[in-house]
Structure 1
Amino acid sequence: MLGFWYSKSPQFAKDHKDFWRARLIAHFLLFSTAYFFILTVLNVFYFEQLDLALIDCLGLVISLTIYFWFYKSGNVNVTAWAVTLMASSLAILFIISVGGNPFSILWATLIPPIAFFLIGRKRGSIISAIAFSICAYLIYTQQQQTINNNHRVRIII
Structure 2
Amino acid sequence: MLWRHHHPDITVDDPRYRQVALLYAFILIMALYFGVIGTLNLVLFGDEAIALFDFAGFACTLGIYAYTRRTAQFRRASWAAVLTLIGVLAGFTWLARGASYSLLWITVLPPIAFFLLGVRAGSWVTGLFFTFVMVFLAVVEPNWHQVHLSQGALLNFAEVMTAHWFLFRHYEISRTEAYQQLKESAAIDRLTGLWNRMRLDEALADTLALARRTGRGTAVLLADVDHFKQINDVHGHLMGDDVLREIARILQRGIRHTDRVGRWGGEEFLVLCPDTDAEGARILAEKVRAAVAAGDYPAGVAVTVSVGVAAARGDLDADQFLQIADRQLYRAKAGGRDCVMVEQSDGATVKP
C-alpha contact 1:100 1:139 (8 A) present in aligned 2: no
- The letter for the 1-side match of 2:92 is F
- 1:121 aligned onto 2:119: yes
Local SS of the residue matching 1:120: helix
Identity %: 25
Specify whether residues 20 and 78 from structure 1 end up closer, same or farther in structure 2 by C-alpha distance, changes over 3 A only: same
Q: Give matches, 1:81-92, under 5 Å.
A: 81-92=79-90
1:37/1:60 contact within 8 Å kept: yes
- Which residue of 2 is the match for residue 152 of structure 1? none
By how many angstroms is 1:6 displaced? 3.3
Could you tell which deviates more after superposition, 59-68 or 81-90? 81-90
Establish whether residue 10 from structure 1 lines up as the match of residue 30 from structure 2. Answer: no
Q: Larger % of helix: which? A: 1
Superposed counterparts of 1:3-152, under 5 Å:
5-7=2-4, 9-11=6-8, 12-101=10-99, 103-141=101-139, 142=141
Q: Normalising by structure 2, what TM-score? A: 0.38
User: Are residues 93 and 73 of structure 1, via their aligned partners in 2, closer, same or farther at CA, if it must alter by over 3 Å?
Assistant: same
Q: CA deviation at 1:22?
A: 0.7
Deviation digits for residues 108-152 of structure 1 (CA, Å, limit 9, x no counterpart): 2111111111112111111111211122123323358759xxxxx
Return the alpha-carbon distance in structure 1 between the equivalents of residues 53 and 28 of structure 2.
18
- 8 Å Cα contact 1:9-1:26 kept in structure 2: no
RMSD: 2.2
Q: Which has the larger radius of gyration?
A: 2
The total of aligned residue pairs comes to: 144
For 1:8 and 1:14, locate their aligned partners in 2 and report how far apart those are by CA, in whole Å. 13
Q: Give the stretch that moved more between structures: 57-66 or 129-138.
A: 129-138
Unaligned runs of 5+ in 2: 150-352
Aligned partner letter, 1:65: G
**Deviation of 1:79 (Å):** 0.8
Letter in 2 for 1:66: I
Please, which runs of 5 or more residues in structure 1 have no aligned partner?
Answer: 148-157
Larger mean Cα displacement after TM superposition, 9-18 or 70-79: 9-18
1:153 paired residue number: none
Counterpart residue number, 1:150: none
Higher RCO (CA < 8 A, seq sep 6+): 1
Look up the SS of the partner of 1:21 in the other structure.
Answer: helix
